[in-house]
């Protein structure tokens, strides 16, 4: 049953139709979550007892860092599916995720630098967490460059999938770097049940912002996948049928 749904969803005309219906709902959900998250994080959340109000950059930095890793895993898994089962939509999901993931990774690095200046006294240090996150950005850029450098897009997708799967090893390094090495980057305070952990009034807006960022990713992904489908199948019969229905 599940595989039947996957194969149906991976059909270009079905995906194009259902994604068009999903986008308005995702947009509304994103705006609601973003508004609530920003209000809670910037206004109602109490100031940190050590960092004061400067900690509030956490509501952009942390969700962006989470998304940078999450999207890379999605890119690698969908690329692997396309590599093994030759599902065109999986290949498109993989490459369409790359630019969005690179944007989140860049945002995480920039906001981390802005946060690090008042906390560490420097814009950048070759900390294990920061360095592995920078490597992640290079992996994203490598995937984008490799895909654009190969003319045949099916061949490019297979090459990209291999690179993405090799780069997955960097994800656990990013996640566990603060535990494996002595770093300036603070340890986990969100997922811990013991002390020190983040206050609930700070945690709820953070999780809401993380939800908003995830919804935004799915919006951007659907839009990019739709465009990529049109570019790959400009003469597809299903496109002619859509144009006929639109008249």
Angle subtended at Cα 192 by Cα 187 and Cα 195, rounded to the nearest 5 degrees: 85
End-to-end CA distance of the chain: 35
Tell me if 222 sits within 8 A of 216, measured CB to CB.
no
Can you spell out the DSSP letters for 66-132? HHHHHHHHHHHHHHHHHHHH--HHHHHHHHHHHHHHHHHHHHHHHHHHHHHHHHHSSS----HHHHH
Looking at the domain assignment, is residue 210 inside a domain? yes
| Bigger pLDDT: 12 vs 204 | 204
pLDDT at res. 244: 72
Q: Into how many domains does the chain fold?
A: 1
Looking at the domain assignment, is residue 3 inside a domain? no
Residue 3: pLDDT band by 50, 70, 90 thresholds? low
Looking at the domain assignment, is residue 99 inside a domain? yes
pLDDT at 75 over 90: yes
pLDDT digits (tens, 9 = 90+) for 152-196: 999 999 999 999 999 999 999 988 876 765 565 555 556 545 555
pLDDT at res. 12: 85
Looking at the domain assignment, is residue 87 inside a domain? yes
User: Which of 84-88, 123-127, 162-166, 175-179 bottoms out in mean pLDDT, i.e. has the lowest?
Assistant: 175-179
Predicted TM-score (pTM) of the model is 0.92
Tell me the longest C-alpha to C-alpha distance in the chain: 63
Which SS3 state, helix, strand or coil, does residue 188 take?
Answer: coil
Q: What is the sign, positive or negative, of the torsion defined by CA atoms of 11, 17, 22, 24?
A: positive
Looking at the domain assignment, is residue 177 inside a domain? yes
Q: What residues contact 203, with CB distance under 8 A and at least 6 apart?
A: 190
pLDDT digits (tens, 9 = 90+) for 28-51: 999 999 999 999 999 999 988 778
- State how far the Cα of 246 lies from the Cα of 42, in Å rounded to an integer: 44
pLDDT at res. 77: 96
Q: Which domain holds residue 68?
A: 58-241
pLDDT at res. 153: 92
Cβ neighbours of 90 (radius 10 Å): 21
The proportion of the chain whose per-residue pLDDT surpasses 90, expressed as a percent, equals 64
Looking at the domain assignment, is residue 36 inside a domain? no
Task: Choose among 204, 177, 183: nearest CA to 65.
Answer: 177
- State how far the Cα of 141 lies from the Cα of 158, in Å rounded to an integer: 16
Looking at the domain assignment, is residue 11 inside a domain? no
pLDDT at res. 49: 77
Looking at the domain assignment, is residue 40 inside a domain? no
């Amino acid at each position: 049953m599940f595989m039947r749904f996957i194969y149906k969803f991976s059909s270009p005309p079905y995906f194009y139709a259902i994604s068009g219906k999903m986008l308005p709902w995702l947009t509304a959900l994103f705006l609601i979550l973003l508004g609530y998250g920003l209000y809670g994080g910037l206004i109602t959340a109490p100031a940190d007892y050590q960092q004061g109000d400067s900690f509030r950059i956490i509501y952009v930095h942390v969700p962006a860092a989470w998304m940078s890793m999450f999207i890379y895993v999605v890119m690698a898994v969908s690329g692997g599916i396309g590599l093994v089962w030759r599902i065109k939509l999986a290949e498109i999901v993989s490459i369409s995720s790359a630019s969005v993931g690179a944007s989140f990774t860049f945002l995480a690095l920039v906001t981390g630098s802005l946060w690090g200046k008042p906390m560490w006294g420097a814009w950048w240090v070759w900390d294990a967490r920061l360095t592995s996150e920078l490597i992640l950005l290079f992996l994203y850029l490598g995937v984008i460059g490799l895909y654009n450098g190969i003319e045949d897009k099916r061949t490019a997708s297979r090459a990209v999938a291999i690179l993405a799967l090799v780069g997955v090893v960097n994800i656990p390094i990013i996640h566990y770097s603060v535990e494996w090495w002595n770093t300036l980057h603070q340890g986990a305070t969100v997922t811990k049940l013991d002390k020190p952990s983040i206050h609930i009034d700070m945690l709820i807006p953070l999780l809401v912002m993380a939800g908003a960022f995830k919804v935004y990713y799915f919006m951007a992904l659907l839009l990019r996948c739709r465009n990529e489908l049109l570019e790959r199948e400009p003469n597809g019969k299903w496109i002619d049928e859509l144009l006929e229905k639109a008249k």
